[in-house]
Amino acid sequence: MSMVAMKKWLTPRTLSVLLFPIYIGLLLIHSWYLYGTLIGKGGIAGHSYIFYNLSKIQFEIYNAVIVSMAVGLIILHSMLLTGKKMAKNIWLKSIFAVLLLITLAIRIYMVIRYTGKG
């Protein structure tokens, strides 16, 4: 595919459609971890904080930030898909990009700290 064809194909609207399942996946997975940690469920959803050497509250805050970020991104991209003017809200996109980078950095740090069973 040439660059001209790629530019015509990769519009903000199609990018939003492509990223939508990723945001929904983030929302579902991390809300399940948040629910499991808050309720005190047994299993991987309720006790994941132990594997990352975090307290229960730290892990809940981490998951709550990701869930709220995913909800915000879903709302933002659904507004873009419905045709609302998003040129004035470029600061909102940059805020979510910064949140995404911070969350990614925290996730990399947590993966480094991970201690498996055994």
Band of pLDDT at residue 98, cut at 50, 70 and 90? confident
Nearest in space to 20 (alpha carbons), one of 73, 87, 65, 95: 73
User: Is the Cα dihedral 98, 100, 101, 102 positive or negative?
Assistant: positive
Residue 61 domain flag: yes
Residue 7 domain flag: no
Residue 1 domain flag: no
Q: What is the pTM of this model?
A: 0.72
For residue 13, the model assigns a pLDDT of 67
Residue 3 domain flag: no
Residue 5 domain flag: no
Nearest in space to 79 (alpha carbons), one of 65, 96, 67, 103: 96
CA 39, distance to chain mean position in Å, is 22
4-58 tens-digit pLDDT: 565 666 666 676 677 788 889 889 998 999 999 898 887 778 888 888 888 899 8
Residue 6 domain flag: no
**Does residue 82 register a pLDDT over 60?**
yes
* Residue at token pair 């050497």: 53
Give percent of the chain above pLDDT 70: 74
